[in-house]
């Protein structure tokens, strides 16, 4: 393959961009956060790496690069990446699915234990200097439901099984998980209400698509046990936050652990800040010290496959949005 030109939508000062020096000799790189950084290189470019670029910049750079043969997005979610021209084109799009799943699976386990052992009460008593014994729950034997059984869902299931939990999964194609040893039952999308009603903990790990926006809405939340906890590590708008806040304020469910939100950052005075039955993570449950380095190394691995003419990893279905 001839030498490549890679357009990198990112702040050129980002330290992870230094890893691009590992690209093959002769590879040309243009990086920036503004369109002017790409005007000269775009006509000959064959690869776009959307590291941290805004959607409007991505669209405009795409329009200048008619020879692009592959696009990679650092993020796993595609709701801020896909635009009509890219979706309609034959150019493959890959993403960061799987790079961050292990840490998100650990966050889910932490959230389960946070509520089962009532760590908030422990901390409150410690800060008050109060010695107050109370009963805690054992998670072994309880049920974790996973809405959206992709790579993140599988990471959650493996860890839940290690704790002795039962695992129910909901996915668009249930047959794909019918033989999964970590899953006790698989539900189709129309089985959401049944899954919500049977689980002690429900994890939202679905991608954001028109089909999944507010998938976990008022009806689904109303189906949950009063003792159940909702955990969202997928995309914020998959959960109807207004319905969730209502349920939390009126103690209709036990609580929620949230890493993603419909609006980020959360505005000052948002109800989630004051609710004592919410564990709030500011969208950083996958921010390990080397998370960005891992993301860049995955791109480099895929670039080597691209140059060798091998199948790319994490090719997404642009019509489905994941």
Helix locations, 199-240, DSSP H: 218-222
Please report where in the chains the tokens 């209709």 appear, as a residue: 252
- Whole-angstrom Cα distance, residue 160 to residue 137? 15
Q: Which of 211, 264, 287, 301 is catalytic?
A: 264
138 is catalytic: no
Q: What b/e sequence results for 196-226 when a residue is b if at least 16 CB atoms lie within 10 Å of its CB, and e otherwise?
A: bebbbbbbbbbbbbeebbebbbeebbebbbe
Q: How far apart (Å, rounded) are the C-alpha atoms in residues 11 and 34? A: 9
Greatest Cα pair distance, the chain, in angstroms, is 71
Q: Is residue 176 flagged as an active site residue?
A: no
Which residues does 17 contact at the CB level (< 8 Å), separation at least 6? Answer: 8, 10, 31, 51, 296
Determine contact, residues 272/190, Cβ cutoff 8 Å. no
Please confirm, yes or no, whether 250 is among the known catalytic residues.
Answer: no
Whether the CB-CB separation of 96 and 71 falls below 8 Å is answered with: no
Of 60, 69, 214, 283, the catalytic one is 283
Q: Which residues pair with 216 in a beta bridge?
A: 239
Torsion of CA 27, 95, 288, 51, to 10 degrees: 50
Q: Give the residue from 236, 244, 187, 232 showing the smallest Cα distance to 213.
A: 236
Taking the C-alpha atoms of residue 237 and residue 260, their distance in angstroms, rounded to an integer, is: 8
d(CA 254, CA 112): 12
Catalytic residue (one of 74, 159, 235, 254): 235
Residue numbers annotated as active site: 235, 264, 283
């Amino acid at each position: 393959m001839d030498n490549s030109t890679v357009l990198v939508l990112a702040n050129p000062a980002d330290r992870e961009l230094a890893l691009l020096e590992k690209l093959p000799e002769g590879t040309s790189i243009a990086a920036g956060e503004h369109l002017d950084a790409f005007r000269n290189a775009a006509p000959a470019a064959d690869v776009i790496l959307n590291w941290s670029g805004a959607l409007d910049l991505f669209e405009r750079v795409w329009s200048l690069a008619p020879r692009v043969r592959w696009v990679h997005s650092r993020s796993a979610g595609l709701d801020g990446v896909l635009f009509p021209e890219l979706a309609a084109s034959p150019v493959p799009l890959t993403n960061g699915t799987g790079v961050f799943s292990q840490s998100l699976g650990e966050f889910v386990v932490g959230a389960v234990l946070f509520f089962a052992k009532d760590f908030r009460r422990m901390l409150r008593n410690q800060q008050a200097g109060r010695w107050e014994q109370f009963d805690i729950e054992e998670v072994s034997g309880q049920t974790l439901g996973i809405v959206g059984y992709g790579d993140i869902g599988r990471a959650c299931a493996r860890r839940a099984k290690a704790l002795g939990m039962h695992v129910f999964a909901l996915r668009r194609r249930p047959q794909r998980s019918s033989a999964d040893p970590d899953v006790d039952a698989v539900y189709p999308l129309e089985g959401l209400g049944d899954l919500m009603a049977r689980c002690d903990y429900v994890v939202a790990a679905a991608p954001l698509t028109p089909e999944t926006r507010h998938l976990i809405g008022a009806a689904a939340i109303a189906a949950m046990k009063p003792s159940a906890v909702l955990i969202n590590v997928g995309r914020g708008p998959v959960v109807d936050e207004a319905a969730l806040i209502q349920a939390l304020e009126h103690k209709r469910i036990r609580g929620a652990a949230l890493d993603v939100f419909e609006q980020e950052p959360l505005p000052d005075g948002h109800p989630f800040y004051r609710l004592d039955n919410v564990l709030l993570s500011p969208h950083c449950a996958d921010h390990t010290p080397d998370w960005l380095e891992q993301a860049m190394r995955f791109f480099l691995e895929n670039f080597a496959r691209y140059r060798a003419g091998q199948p790319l990893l994490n090719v997404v279905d642009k019509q489905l949005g994941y």
